[in-house]
Chains A and B, each alone.
Chain A
């Protein structure tokens, strides 16, 4: 390998200064001349047929420019899992036949001001025929329950995970445990709400939107607006956080575009914090009914059960969330006998969808609590039990997931070492406990489209400055910086030469979006290839100039030299000058595309390989429980993480810390409640998220396994850090006070009442 000067360095985000001075522009900040304000009329009923919508009075209001309802749309359904689950395209951009949850978008207004738009909303009359509503997923699955969509028993999809012979597995078990876990809903709480600003000019729509996936937004806009993709330009400005909540086209995107087209004026929708909490997407509440068995010597023999997810009124990313919730276990443990069914159930609650962890937070809590119960059932140390069953490198899981590099066992060992596991387990202090949980995650998931491509184009300008065009959507995680670091390393230049133009469907190559921890791995590979391409073009010209073979050319930072003749060297700047000289006259443009090698998932068995590599981690929590107040104080969390290779250790730590603290919030107090389809706490006063006073000491250990497929060996890791957190905490609480918590959040009252039992 040549000199490493960019990859592996703690580089501040390339746009951090703009953010620090308040200059960074988010869709939230954007204004256009003549801009109108968009607002929704939302359903007041949880389940009803829409008989009639009357906008006559509202249209008469001064300052109202247009109102759209179902009749202004093509009535085309869309969804986010169209490729593998085409039948889950179940949502209209504006409610068409029925409303299926309280708050569903029924009509949209464009007006001169927010006040006028709000007034107009009040003047729209909707006639409904109310239908029975069902809010509990188990009730919804019963025969005779009110039918929300056309699927039988309100089960949108059923996903299996099957392997071996489950009966045999239980027969061979010396200890069997059966337990039910219940997980609550939660909100993303990105600081920037969902905002969409659209304009219509010369037959083309331009939409600025706070999104994680501009190309996916364009795809569904084109479908529902019946337009060609070339006639829709979706631009992602700075985005104030996503966490999975900004992955899809939402009604505000569609309505901003349609209203802009209708009024010929720019239209902007900006959701309020309350709308943000309830009417975007939320975490799937899940029930895990699990049964597992182990042999006396600590080998997991059988795992069976079912997972029921309250999906709310529409599918969104739900089918794959449920798939992810039951499939990940195969890359964590070597399992032989498995029989799990996952059900994604429709209810009349708001829509559940993607959120950081993608089903893995819920399943992480359930499975990793269960594993601890198995270990304690046979009297084995939980870390040792995990080491006995953890997967190895080059292992194919029962469900066909193909692991290549795998640092899981090193993660467990190092986390134990750093936390003084053995000592703390041996010499127990009163009310102090230590707990471990482990996890594995994908980097990309080919479950949404026939391909999962990313593309990068790199232009070297005449003055030697570089413009990098990537489809990857930086939503704050620092993707632009990572792309620039990779390109700088590959091209042998300083990062300051590079400006990144990202996530603009008209000007940058395609990219499926920022989700599934895929950007560093997939877009990073595309960027590396583009940089390689442009570097080779320069090398060719320089080699010719020195009259040597191209293989002899090598790069250091800002320098090109001949491996065999020390007198042959020139700066990158000189090389660019040479390329653009009269004699050569070669314009420098490099391109790179990458589509990870994977295998499709067979929906009948759940077998397939969705990701080209996998990342691993072990987390250990040390907690103290106050038996008087029931309060859990986390003293420290150690996170050992196989990140392949840290392109930017500072950004990697930032992902781990942010993810982990989010995990602590979900473990201890975050709870988006719903009662009869109504959310009682849709604000930051009653839905608390962690504050600076809730942080804990975090020790991160980065384990570099140098993945052969990853760019410079890197793996994805943005989501995985919150997968084991809740279980690590719950297992530590069990260690401290002997109380097993099976439902989140772990509120003090739960501890107190469990202590009484």
Chain B
């Protein structure tokens, strides 16, 4: 497994990086490297121009603002978990992230890379979806659900991820790894109640669709009224649209049921 030669650019600022993005021929971004480098090692055909973001200090900050917490796209999963703001206000993120990948990968992989990679098992994507995060690019801001619907466009650098400071009052999370523990996620369901909103996000198994973009603000009432069956029906309908594998459908529905049960108990 040999890494072939390429031109490597190490910009110091976001501005510099964006300029390189605009001027180089088919540039590719290297963030944490945990996916891109493994891909390069296997592939014979990849971009000759690679822009590394590791030297850009601005991208590694976690800031608490009035209504948001803002996470730089190059913050590693581990640093995210160890951050005091996150520990205090988003302790569930810590718990969930510590369940995915391995310590070394968490020390290297960046939150931006995880979201932008487009990998079907990217765990940050559905977590941020449940938090209704906003993605701040050099030239635009968009909600994560809109971003995940967009065709992948690699021309612009993701600067930060903003999460509302609305207090998380309840949450439930269930994840099914593929073969053994620490393996990639093949199905997951995350339910979060924050402020007056309840959001449900899911990884529907090896495809990009993550459902329940709408707030399920009536979830608590439905659960109270024992309308679990209706909820499962809605979930299954959305799931069936995107997931053709019967086994995956079954376990993801079970994942949803389990999350509902955990959620109802809290």
Contact = CB atoms under 8 A, between A and B. Distances in A.
Q: A and B touching (C-beta < 8 Å)?
A: yes
Interface string B172-184: 0000101111110
Given A688-B179, A749-B247, A118 B2 contact: yes
B180 A688 contact: yes
B223 interface: no
A690 B250 contact: no
Contacts of A628: 251, 254, 257-258
Interface string B222-266: 000000000000000000000000010011001101100000000
A274 B38 CA distance: 13
Contacts of A665: 180
Interface string A425-466: 000000000000000000000000000000000000000000
A168 to B, nearest CB: 46
A668 B178 CA distance: 12
A629 B114 CA distance: 26
Given A118-B2, A272-B1, A690 B254 contact: no
Interface string B107-139: 000000000000000000000000000000000
Contacts of A547: none
A115 interface: yes
A115 B180 contact: no
A748 B251 contact: yes
Contact of B181 (A273, A629, A694, A749): A694
B250 A752 contact: yes
A669 interface: yes
Contact of B2 (A114, A629, A753): A114
Given A629-B176, A693-B181, A752 B247 contact: yes
A144 B38 CA distance: 45
A688 B2 contact: no
A691 interface: yes
Contact of A669 (B1, B180, B182): B180
* Max chain B C-beta neighbours (<10 A), residue from A274, A665, A694: A694
Contact of A691 (B2, B182, B251): B182
B258 to A, nearest CB: 7
A685 B39 CA distance: 12
Given A115-B2, A272-B1, A630 B181 contact: no
A693 B251 contact: no
Nearest to B187: A629
A747 B258 CA distance: 20
B247 to A, nearest CB: 4
B254 A669 contact: no
Contact of A668 (B180, B247, B251): B180
Nearest to B41: A272
Interface in B173-206: 176, 178-183
Given A115-B2, A118-B2, A273-B1, A630 B180 contact: no
- Chain A binding surface, main DSSP class: helix
A688 B177 CA distance: 12
A629 B258 CA distance: 10
Contacts of A668: 180
Contacts of B38: 685
B258 A694 contact: no
A515 to B, nearest CB: 28
B247 A693 contact: no
Contacts of A747: 179
Interface residues of B, number: 17
A629 B254 contact: yes
Interface string A625-638: 00011100000000
Contact of A688 (B183, B250, B251, B254): B183
Contacts of A115: 2
A250 B254 CA distance: 48
B120 to A, nearest CB: 14
B122 to A, nearest CB: 15
A44 to B, nearest CB: 16
Nearest to A669: B179
A688 B250 CA distance: 23
B251 A630 contact: yes
* Max chain A C-beta neighbours (<10 A), residue from B176, B180, B182, B254: B180
A690 B247 CA distance: 23
A665 B179 CA distance: 10
A665 B1 CA distance: 26
Contacts of B176: 629
Interface in A662-678: 665, 668-669
Nearest to A628: B254
Given A115-B2, A272-B1, A629-B176, A691 B247 contact: no
Contacts of A691: 180-182
A499 B144 CA distance: 64
B35 to A, nearest CB: 11
Interface in A568-620: none
B43 to A, nearest CB: 14
Nearest to B181: A693
* Max chain A C-beta neighbours (<10 A), residue from B38, B182, B250, B255: B250
B44 to A, nearest CB: 11
Nearest to A114: B2
A479 to B, nearest CB: 30
A114 B2 CA distance: 8
A665 B178 CA distance: 14
A669 B181 CA distance: 11
Contacts of A118: 2
B250 to A, nearest CB: 6
B84 to A, nearest CB: 28
A576 B176 CA distance: 65
Interface in B206-230: none
A752 B252 CA distance: 13
A693 B177 CA distance: 12
Interface string B24-63: 0000000000000010000000000000000000000000
A606 to B, nearest CB: 38
A749 B247 CA distance: 6
Interface of A: 114-115, 118, 272-274, 628-630, 665, 668-669, 685, 688, 690-691, 693-694, 747-749, 752-753
9 contacts: A118-B2, A628-B254, A629-B176, A630-B251, A665-B180, A668-B180, A691-B180, A693-B182, A748-B251
Leading 8 A-B pairs by shortest Cβ distance:
A693-B181, A628-B254, A669-B179, A749-B247, A688-B179, A688-B180, A694-B180, A693-B182
Given A688-B179, A688-B183, A693-B181, 9 more contacts: A628-B251, A628-B258, A629-B176, A688-B180, A691-B180, A691-B182, A747-B179, A748-B247, A749-B247
